[in-house]
Amino acid sequence: MRLYAEVTVNESLNTAERVSPDDVATLPTRETEVLVVGGGPAGAAMGYWLAEQGHEVAIVERKHFPREKTCGDGLTPRAVKQLDDMGLGERLKQFHRYEGLRATAHGKELELQWPTHPTYPRHGYVVRRRELDAMVAFNAEKSGAALLQGHEAMTPILDKGCVRGAVVNDLDEGRQMAIRADYVVVADGANSRFGRSLGTARTKAWPYGTAIRTYWVSPRHDEPWIESALDVQDRNGNSMPGYGWIFPVGDGTINVVLVCCRHSRSSKT
């Protein structure tokens, strides 16, 4: 496995988000080879594989596990394969298994079995993110990564334009620390404060989606299909940009989500 560190940033960007080198020098310091910002499935999986290869890894995660995350909870065959590769295959078997997708639109219905594939299984699982995220994060910790829960990366530590760590808030203790690293992986999502301090930006002109999710008690909680509704309509029957889904959780409940899409945040459609 190769690691690449020469990611540079424009030091003039978002200077209000930065901490001066003099201030960083006064903070308690921890050193590691790789700092992973964000302990969700992406960051935790990265931490797992790096630790398995013998690298010293610290993962900082703002919240404590288990934590909620608005999501459909559905794991596709590709995700099942990745988790199995990380040694979590047996643990997945305790969750509800499904065989494919049922798609509905304009009064029609189509059931699609996952295809036969030389690498991926023909099934997926429905796992609440509250359970999945904790499973992957603690698996990384078990492999040797340091998992710092209740820690939020705020601003990067820069050295000649390269990111060499982060100033981190310990939210439980109410204090700051500096974590210096040879390599930094940013995996804390689209609303990353740390990412903004590196110069990432969002614009209202981009397409935008909003989702609402809930769990309902249902006698159909253990169906073999995840279901997608592709013809979202308003109360007058007019088509709307978006989609809905129903994922059977297998514990007496179903995961129901509605996603509405807009061309931009300022759009009324």
Answer yes or no: is pLDDT of 16 > 70: no
End-to-end Cα, the chain, rounded Å: 46
| Residue 101 β-bridge partners | 112, 226
Asked if 11 contacts 161 with a C-beta cutoff of 8 angstroms, the reply is yes
Q: What is the pLDDT of residues 135-163, one digit of tens each?
A: 999 999 999 999 999 999 999 999 888 99
CA 222 to chain centre: 25
| Residue 212 β-bridge partners | 258
Domains of the chain by residue range? 15-71+130-197, 100-121+204-262
Can you give the pLDDT at residue 264? 55
Q: Distance between CA 255 and CA 241 in Å, rounded?
A: 21
Q: Which CATH class is domain 15-71+130-197?
A: alpha beta
Can you give the pLDDT at residue 266? 57
Answer yes or no: is pLDDT of 97 > 90: yes
Can you give the pLDDT at residue 268? 54
Average pLDDT of the chain is 90
% of residues, the chain, pLDDT over 70: 89
